[in-house]
């Protein structure tokens, strides 16, 4: 399933993917892809973003939501990159997750797509599908990530995350999963899915999920 799965965010280098992933919080990838060309044209590197006027960044990213917080994080992140990493994006989880606005999800996206370091991206789709498929019982993304790491070989971490994201968008939607046309229907216990006869009805995050990018 989903042999063509790829990161839906558009980028040309690790810094652009890092910034795009920060912007994708509570926002669709399509919306992020609309604002990043102008943002990266105006601020092409970590140095220019580190020195940028906050209001100018805010204006360019306004439509992605939470723009003041995101602008502060982007500028703060780039200042850290300049101060500690020579303006380059570091290649380890430990160095990435201490940057402003960068959590494990963002770090794993950058590591997996830019540096070939296997990582499991637990966004809203991966979390929801992992619970419905019975791969985890946890809501905490870090615990979900650990459960999946135990069940998948490292070589599958990045691509399987992408495939779950695509499946969540195309078929296993938060509110109305299309189980009747799902290729995983024979395997899936449908944990927490309303109206799934004979399945577990464990309470899940269900309707609070929204498309969260990544
Ligand atoms: S069977 Fe239903 S709940 Fe399970 S993965 Fe498919 S769409 Fe989602």
Query: Per residue in 129-187, pLDDT tens?
Result: 999 999 999 999 999 999 999 999 999 999 999 999 999 999 999 999 999 999 999 99
Last residue in a domain, options 84, 114, 144: 114
174 lines ligand 1 (CB under 6 A): no
Same domain, 132 and 73: no
For atom 1 of ligand 1, which residue has the closest CA?
185
- What is the pLDDT averaged over residues 91-115? 96
Contact 113, 7 (CB under 8 A): yes
Residue 97 has pLDDT above 50, yes or no: yes
Last residue in a domain, options 114, 146, 164: 114
In a domain, 214, yes or no: no
CATH number of the domain enclosing 28: 1.10.340.30
Q: Which atom of ligand 1 is nearest to the CA of 132?
A: 3
Instruction: Using the structure block, give the residue that is written with the tokens 């280098």.
Output: 13
The band of 197, judged by pLDDT with boundaries at 50, 70 and 90, is low
Same domain, 24 and 67: yes
Contact 22, 101 (CB under 8 A): yes
212 or 160: which leads in pLDDT: 160
Q: Where are the alpha helices (DSSP H) in the chain?
A: 14-23, 29-42, 46-50, 54-61, 67-85, 93-96, 104-114, 124-132, 141-151, 154-170
Express as a percent the part of the chain with pLDDT over 70: 91
The band of 195, judged by pLDDT with boundaries at 50, 70 and 90, is confident
In a domain, 155, yes or no: yes
Same domain, 102 and 22: yes
Residue 105 a catalytic site member: yes
Residue 47 a catalytic site member: no
List the single range of 96-105, 161-170, 189-198 with lowest mean pLDDT: 189-198
In a domain, 105, yes or no: yes
Which candidate in 123, 147, 166, 211 is catalytic?
123
Residue 205 has pLDDT above 80, yes or no: no
Same domain, 29 and 96: yes
Domain span at residue 57?
A: 14-114
pTM: 0.85
The band of 4, judged by pLDDT with boundaries at 50, 70 and 90, is confident
Same domain, 110 and 18: yes
CA 15 to chain centre: 15
Cα angle value 60/66/70 (rounded, 5°):
65
The band of 202, judged by pLDDT with boundaries at 50, 70 and 90, is very low
Q: State in Å: Cα 40 to ligand 1 middle.
A: 38
20 lines ligand 1 (CB under 6 A): no
Which candidate in 53, 59, 70, 105 is catalytic?
105
Residue 213 has pLDDT above 80, yes or no: no
Residue 207 has pLDDT above 80, yes or no: no
182 lines ligand 1 (CB under 6 A): yes
Mutate to test the pocket of ligand 1, among 130, 135, 169, 184 (most ligand atoms within 8 A of CB): 184
Residues paired with 177 in a beta bridge: 172
Mutate to test the pocket of ligand 1, among 135, 189, 190 (most ligand atoms within 8 A of CB): 190
Residue 59 has pLDDT above 60, yes or no: yes
Could you write out the DSSP letters of every residue in 121-156?
A: ---HHHHHHHHHTTS----SHHHHHHHHHHHS-HHH
Query: Which secondary structure element, helix H or strand E, spans residue 193, and what is its range?
Result: none
């Amino acid at each position: 399933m989903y042999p063509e799965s790829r990161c839906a965010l558009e980028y040309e280098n690790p810094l652009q993917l890092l910034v795009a992933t920060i912007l994708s919080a509570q926002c669709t990838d399509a919306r992020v892809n609309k604002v990043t060309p102008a943002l990266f044209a105006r601020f092409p590197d970590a140095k220019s973003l580190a020195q940028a006027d906050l209001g100018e960044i805010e204006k360019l990213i306004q439509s992605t939501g939470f723009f003041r917080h995101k602008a502060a994080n982007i500028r703060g992140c780039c200042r850290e990159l300049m101060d500690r990493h020579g303006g380059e994006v570091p290649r380890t989880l430990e160095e990435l997750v201490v940057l402003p606005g960068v959590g494990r999800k963002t770090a794993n996206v950058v590591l997996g797509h830019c540096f070939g370091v296997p990582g499991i991206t637990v966004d809203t789709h991966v979390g929801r599908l992992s619970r419905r498929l019975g791969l985890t019982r946890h809501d905490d993304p870090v615990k979900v990530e650990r459960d999946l790491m135990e069940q998948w070989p490292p070589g599958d971490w990045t691509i399987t995350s992408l495939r779950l994201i695509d499946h969540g968008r195309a078929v296993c939607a938060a509110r109305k999963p299309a189980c009747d046309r799902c290729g995983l229907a024979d395997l899936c216990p449908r944990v927490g899915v309303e109206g799934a006869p004979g399945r577990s009805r464990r309470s899940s995050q269900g309707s609070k999920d929204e498309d969260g990018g990544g």
